[in-house]
Structure 1
């Protein structure tokens, strides 16, 4: 049994789910799985993945888990009451070999957003763990432990980096649940205050850490079908978030349409309202310099704003970014796969992305080519036109 608790997911799934309950309870969505790592044959493991999915759908939130959620200042009591009745339903998930017969598998999740939003992270964790326990059974984790301790020592023992803090963002691509727990425990014990927390709610509760996260791409993508006209969808998403959280959880994601389109919408009002922004694609140094200049242009002191970096980080990259930006703003770093799946075998690059909402296509066009996932090229072309996005982007 890979997933033993519905808390074994990322915090932003709960924060987004609360907005869905309160503002979009009737929304219907579709997600699709993609393995970006070439040459991976997942077909032999379909039955095992289905078995883990069935077990996942038998889980319920326990009374003590609900009590834990009630301690969060931004969670409303009616949302916790809803979670007390909640259960995932496997009827919303289809898993089958890809029609191309190339070893890829199709995973599609279709149904009410409110009842499907919690599938993504545990399903990705299931696919990862099923794959690695079949392809690297009996692996000696000693190499992983050596690598982990070297990362801890580098961050902890390098002079003048005591203020550089990292967080674990590695649930969806972890080698295994037990390995992620060992990693985060070692980070807590080895880094002390330099570990800001973890995105994984189950581990945050178990290890007495701060759960971290705000919103993901799917939230802004869905507003392409939920908001007013398409051009105003990004603004509508940010305003809906502010309406729900009234200044809490104030980190805006900047790359659903690319940074330039984001900054056109992120005006002085949002600069002052939100605590900061998160980077998840493109050159992080150029991104950060541009965001800080945007704050200054809008008469906002960037030293009081947070830049969150979360795109494919390792510890040396974290330290380079810290050196470049420290003193100019507040900083946060979320490190994922390099912490939770650096044990020897090559990690899988797998994602589950929303592709439709309320029957219409949705997409993101980030600052990194290849991250877009949409089945309707005409819609992508229309999106580029509406947001003035160059063809080379995404």
Structure 2
């Protein structure tokens, strides 16, 4: 059994789920799976993935797990009571070979947002582990351990980086659950205070670490169908989040409509209200400079705000960003696949993204166009028009 606890997911799933319970309990959504690696044949493993899915759906939160969740200052008691009754249901997940062939599989998750939001992270972890245990059975992890030791030593032993902290964000694309735990344990023991924590709630609980996370793209995307007029959907999402958490979990995600559209909405009120912003697409150096300039233009001292970097990071890139921005703001770095799936074989680049909410298309128009995912090109064009996002003619934005 690959996933043995419903805590084996990322913190932002719980923080978003609480908002869904309190504000959008009737919302209906659809998610779609995509593998970005060319030539990966997942079809032979469909039955195994389905079997792991059904085991996932047999899990319930234990009393000790609920007590742990209840101990968080930002989790409300009624949400924990709801989780005490909660169970995932496989009827919301459909897994089939894709009609296009070429070894692709099609996964659709359809149902109430409240009852489907917890599928994404464990299902991606299942697909990863099933794939690698079949294609790389008995892989010697010695190379992975060597690479991990080198990363820890580079960050820990390089002069001038004692204040540079990283966190594990690698649940979705980990090589295996066992390897994930070994990696996080090694980071905790090898980096000490330079290891800020992990997004994985189960590992944070088990290893005595700080669970980290706030919100993801799906939260802002869903507001395209939940809020007032479309142009105000990003503002509505941020305001609803602030009402729910009252100053806690104050990191805003900036790339659902691109940085320019985000900064137009992230006015002085939000600059002062939120603790910082998270980068997840586009050039991180250019992004950081624009965000710092935006804070200054809104009479906010950037040194009081946090820039969180989380897009495809490795340790050298973390160190370069730290060196560039250190002393000008507060910094946080979330490293994912490069920590939890750097053992030799090429890692899978797989995602599950929300594509509909309440029967309406929703989309993300990223500063990294390869991350865009929507089945309705007309809607993407309309979204671009509404948020004044220029079209790059050589890059597709819709995924069929």
TM norm structure 1: 1.00
In structure 2, the partner of 1:324 is: 324
User: Which residues of structure 2 form unaligned runs of 5+?
Assistant: none
Match of 1:23 in 2: 23
> Aligned residue for 2:80?
80
How far off is 1:22 after superposition? 0.1
Corresponding residue SS for 2:255: coil
Matches of 2:391 and 2:41, distance apart in 1 = 32
State the secondary structure of the residue aligned to 1:130. helix
Rounded Cα–Cα distance in structure 1 between residues aligned with 2:275 and 2:196: 17
- Inter-partner Cα distance in structure 1 for 2:123 and 2:142: 27
Hey, what does 2:389 align to over in structure 1?
389
CA distance in 2, matches of 1:253, 1:60: 30
Matches of 2:118 and 2:244, distance apart in 1: 19
Q: Which residue of 1 aligns with 2:37?
A: 37
Work out the CA distance in 2 between the residues paired with 1:391 and 1:344: 38
Indicate yes or no: 2:167 matched with 1:150: no
Structure 1 residue 260 corresponds to structure 2 residue 260: yes
Q: Does 1:183 align with 2:183?
A: yes
Where does structure 1 lack aligned partners over 5 or more consecutive residues? Answer: none
Residues 35-75 of structure 1 deviation map (CA, whole Å, 9 limit, x = unaligned): 00000000000000000000000000000000000110000
Map Cα deviations across residues 202-244 of structure 1 (whole Å, 9 max, x no partner).
0000000000000000000000000000000000000000000
* 1:240-255 equivalent positions in 2, closer than 5 A: 240-255=240-255
Structure 2 residue 309 is matched with structure 1 residue 309: yes
Give 1:86-165 correspondences, 5 Å limit: 86-165=86-165
Aligned pairs for 1:186-265 within 5 A: 186-265=186-265
Partner of 1:375: 375
Q: 2:218 & 2:13 partners in 1: Cα distance?
A: 10
3-state SS of 2:269 partner: helix
Structure 2 counterpart of 1:52:
52
Cα distance in 1 between the residues matched to 2:329 and 2:234: 24
Displacement of 1:369: 1.4
Deviation (angstroms), 1:102:
1.3
Q: What do the CA deviations read for 1:335-375 (whole angstroms, capped 9, x no partner)?
A: 00000000000000000000000000000001001111100
CA distance, structure 1, for counterparts of residue 349 and residue 104 of structure 2? 13
The alpha-carbon deviation at position 332 of structure 1 amounts to 0.1
1:89-145, Cα deviation, whole Å (9 max, x unpaired): 000000000001210000000000000000000000000000000000011000000
- In structure 2, the residue corresponding to 1:370 is in which secondary structure? helix
Deviations 1:296-351 (CA, angstroms, capped at 9, x unpaired)? 00000000000000000000000000000000000000000000000000000000
Q: Check if 1:71 corresponds to 2:34.
A: no
Q: Deviations over 1:131-164 (max 9, x none)?
A: 0000000110000000000000000000110000
Q: Distance in 2 between matches of 1:262 and 1:163?
A: 29
**Corresponding residue number in structure 2 for 1:358:** 358
2:25 and 2:305 map into 1 onto residues whose CA distance is: 32
Give how far 1:265 is off. Answer: 0.1
Aligned to 2:271: 271
Q: How much has 1:281 moved relative to structure 2?
A: 0.1
Instruction: Determine the C-alpha separation between the residues in 2 that align with 1:9 and 1:390.
Output: 35
What value does the CA root-mean-square deviation take over the aligned residues?
A: 0.6
Alpha-carbon separation, structure 1, partners of 2:100 and 2:348: 20
| Distance in 2 separating the partners of 1:238 and 1:196 | 25
Question: 1:81 & 1:367 partners in 2: Cα distance?
Answer: 39
Distance 1:203 1:54 in 2: 22
Q: Which of structure 1's runs of 4+ aligned residues deviate more than 3 A? A: none
| TM-score, scaled relative to structure 2 | 0.98
Count, aligned residues:
394
Cα distance in 1, alignment partners of residues 351 and 267 from structure 2? 31
Name the SS for the 2:370 alignment partner: coil
